[in-house]
Amino acid sequence: MINLIRSKIMFNLINIIMKFWKAISWGILIIVLSMMSSSSIEKIAIFKFPHIDKVVHFCLYFVFTIFLISGFKRNNYNVYLKPARLIIIILIFTSFGILMEIFQLEFTTTRSAELLDFVADAVGGIAAVLVYQKLIKIRFFNTIVK
């Protein structure tokens, strides 16, 4: 009986990982970038203009949210996301954004938590949801999100 429960749990865990591997991978990238020292980030910066970090936050969370949507849509032929799933997606990206700001505050010496960083994260995620809702009728977009 215990082995059956363990195998069912493992099957469900593997199934979740397979559905959300893009979002999980992108989330790991966000964690790595969030924990890097600010001097390391300045060395790899391609564009240098005021508040570029907010643009980066927006883009990272936009892509993260698209990958979350992709995970929820996998094996589901209904292109419209149910409101409950949209709420879950919003809770995931906002919670993740808050968590990254707390981690920067608590676990790094060269980074700090900024409200505007979180705002950029949230706006990026919300923009992804809105763009998805507007573009779901386009065939090319649906092949990307699958």
Number of Cβ within 10 Å of residue 70's Cβ equals 18
Model-level pTM? 0.82
- Burial call 21-51: b when 16+ CB within 10 Å, e when fewer: ebbeebbeebeeebebeeeebeeeeeeeeee
> What is the per-residue pLDDT across 41-75, written as a single tens digit (0 to 9) for each?
665 656 676 777 888 899 999 999 999 998 887 65
Residue ranges of domains in the chain? 20-145
Q: For 79-94, give the DSSP string.
A: -SPPHHHHHHHHHHHH
What tens digit of pLDDT does each residue of 109-132 get? 888 888 999 999 999 999 999 998
Residue type at 69 in one-letter notation: I
